[in-house]
Chains A and B, each alone.
Chain A
């Protein structure tokens, strides 16, 4: 079976590299395993990891938008 536009289709994109950031960042415990500085009463350990969720959403959204199927 060959797809109609065979060769020019690819899921490779330089934007995919952006996915590395939200994978690596939350796993670097030495960056955030600390109480201070606190934010709204939350120790760094907690608010840093909550912020990582936003980083993840932003990075995957950019990759999605940039690699979306053109119609």
Chain B
């Protein structure tokens, strides 16, 4: 334990400092009254370009990403680099969609994507499905943030679950008190620390190892010696998987409730546009972090036990002086807090708006909504802790994998719904059911011969299982989405032909273009 004393001290000091900020955040840009979802859950919908950049960046590029992507590169090579094209294509794809979603939400006071679906398709049932999908997809994601902290704690020789529980209890307390303002303020510290650590790492470590040539050379040697289909380049069979995984993950990213929460908190359309241009700075960072996996190979770093997620912390430990390792660990640890806070707020908002207000207390006041959301955010975190305590880590990762596939199934209603009202609500519900079923069936049938797991061992679905004569694999989420779309289209045609009643549409075309300062139609949105 003593050899890690400096690291633990630096880590604890930074962690406590940030926790203090989390509590103080309630006073930051203080409104007259925090007791509404607009204030507690969306920070007053007032964030400018800088705050939004730090907030959304801190939200999307999570601690888990920073730990797991290099771990994947370390073990599988080029395939793990999909995170880079994924985070490049996402911004131009969602550029126009998010602007419209922001506008319509601004006019109608929507807090969640399910709110939008409720108003657009006049279907509380569809909205409920969207809300449940969002909550189920988000829960394991929060649990995974704990995996990030755990990897760091392990590397400092801290074992047992108590430190983890304490860290999350602190997080839960200041999220409860300050709402979205807490992660927004903390994100500044988190991102600054991460940037410093990574810039130092990518300059210092390759220099110590003898240059990038050596780094890539050593990686090449390792993969050449292993029988698995890995390498520093893609092979003939995993290129389709690489592309579909990058595209599918990009389509899924802004369907996650926590991403939408970050976007809705910005104050006008220009803030979003600017951020779509500026957020790729984080992709650069992510790409560089990914390469830490190769540096770990070249440096001969070994993970602790079988936990590949400890690769990056172990690399830092080996390469940096103790105090800077402490800073690096704090960056990862704090990096887990920002997304965990936003995710729990987003999941809580879904519950409040689309389950509590819809089915339990329709005449809930703003203050009721804020109170229920605050309590739910606590419950969500307890749930995440229970996931970690009672399920093994590998299972959380599987759940996260499933989460990506299922959140994609909300695309027709949420993203296409922004553009067209053509779909019938019955078609969308049928599509959701079909897409979910197809996705689950495929994931269930994906095994991994190396680890001996038979089910849910990855997202790369072998096309030969569909009877095609090839060794190629494809991202299961994309296939499930295709099934979803086909059924939604057929379902819509059938529903129209058989004159099934469709829901109303509470939105109007010009509302999708509204900007800051335009009048809102508050409280009209839930009357069909």
A joins B in a complex: yes
Residue B199 CB within 8 A of the other chain: no
Instruction: State in angstroms the CA–CA spacing of A34 and B89 once bound together.
Output: 21
For A4, A10, A21, A22, the residue with the greatest tally of chain B CB atoms inside 10 Å of its CB is: A22
With contact pairs A6-B510, A29-B243 given, residues A56 and B88 touching in the complex (Cβ less than 8 Å): yes
Instruction: State in angstroms the CA–CA spacing of A5 and B107 once bound together.
Output: 15
With contact pairs A11-B513, A26-B246, A27-B243 given, residues A60 and B95 touching in the complex (Cβ less than 8 Å): yes
* A10-64 with Cβ < 8 A to chain B: 10-11, 16, 19-23, 26-27, 29-30, 33-35, 38, 40-43, 45-46, 49-50, 52-53, 56-57, 59-61, 63-64
With contact pairs A52-B88, A64-B277 given, residues A34 and B511 touching in the complex (Cβ less than 8 Å): no
Are B85 and A49 closer than 8 Å at their CB atoms?
yes
Chain B positions 155 through 186: 1 when the CB is less than 8 Å from some CB of chain A, otherwise 0: 00000000000000000000000000000000
Contacts of B239 in A (CB 8 A): 29-30, 33
Residue B247 CB within 8 A of the other chain: yes
Are A35 and B89 closer than 8 Å at their CB atoms?
no
Chain B positions 50 through 94: 1 when the CB is less than 8 Å from some CB of chain A, otherwise 0: 000000000000000000000000000010010011001101110
Are A3 and B518 closer than 8 Å at their CB atoms?
yes
Are A43 and B216 closer than 8 Å at their CB atoms?
yes
B335 CB, nearest partner CB in chain A, Å:
20
Chain B positions 112 through 133: 1 when the CB is less than 8 Å from some CB of chain A, otherwise 0: 0000000000000000000000
Are B85 and A45 closer than 8 Å at their CB atoms?
no
Chain B positions 275 through 308: 1 when the CB is less than 8 Å from some CB of chain A, otherwise 0: 0111011011001000100000000000000000
Contacts of A10 in B (CB 8 A): 513
Instruction: State in angstroms the CA–CA spacing of A68 and B268 once bound together.
Output: 11
Instruction: State in angstroms the CA–CA spacing of A23 and B269 once bound together.
Output: 21
Instruction: State in angstroms the CA–CA spacing of A9 and B509 once bound together.
Output: 11
Are A41 and B211 closer than 8 Å at their CB atoms?
yes
Instruction: State in angstroms the CA–CA spacing of A67 and B270 once bound together.
Output: 9
Shortest Cβ distance from B214 into A: residue: A41
Main secondary structure of the interface of B (DSSP, over half): helix
Residue B273 CB within 8 A of the other chain: yes
Are A53 and B284 closer than 8 Å at their CB atoms?
yes
Are A2 and B510 closer than 8 Å at their CB atoms?
yes
Residue B233 CB within 8 A of the other chain: yes
Contacts of A56 in B (CB 8 A): 88-89, 91-92, 280, 283
Instruction: State in angstroms the CA–CA spacing of A45 and B287 once bound together.
Output: 12
B293 CB, nearest partner CB in chain A, Å:
12
Shortest Cβ distance from B235 into A: residue: A33
What number of A residues sit within 8 Å (CB to CB) of B? 42
With contact pairs A16-B96, A23-B92, A27-B89 given, residues A43 and B84 touching in the complex (Cβ less than 8 Å): no
Are A35 and B273 closer than 8 Å at their CB atoms?
no
Residue B466 CB within 8 A of the other chain: no
Contacts of A53 in B (CB 8 A): 84, 88, 280, 283-284, 287
Residue B99 CB within 8 A of the other chain: yes
Residue B258 CB within 8 A of the other chain: no
Instruction: State in angstroms the CA–CA spacing of A45 and B96 once bound together.
Output: 29
Contacts of B274 in A (CB 8 A): 64
Contacts of A68 in B (CB 8 A): 270, 273
With contact pairs A46-B81, A46-B291 given, residues A33 and B211 touching in the complex (Cβ less than 8 Å): no
A50 CB, nearest partner CB in chain B, Å:
6
Residue B187 CB within 8 A of the other chain: no
Are B92 and A22 closer than 8 Å at their CB atoms?
yes
Contacts of A41 in B (CB 8 A): 211-213, 215-216
Going nearest first, the 10 A-B pairs with the smallest beta carbon separation are: A41-B212, A26-B85, A19-B92, A60-B277, A41-B213, A64-B273, A61-B277, A29-B239, A56-B88, A26-B88
**Which positions in B face A, CB cutoff 8 Å?**
78, 81, 84-85, 88-89, 91-93, 95-96, 99-100, 107, 211-213, 215-216, 232-234, 239, 242-243, 246-247, 268-270, 273-274, 276-278, 280-281, 283-284, 287, 291, 508, 510-515, 518-519, 521
A and B contact pairs by CB, cutoff 8 A, 30 listed: A1-B510, A3-B514, A11-B99, A16-B95, A19-B92, A22-B88, A22-B92, A26-B84, A26-B246, A27-B85, A27-B89, A27-B243, A30-B239, A33-B233, A34-B233, A41-B212, A41-B215, A43-B232, A46-B81, A49-B85, A50-B84, A52-B84, A53-B84, A53-B88, A56-B91, A56-B283, A64-B270, A64-B276, A68-B273, A69-B268
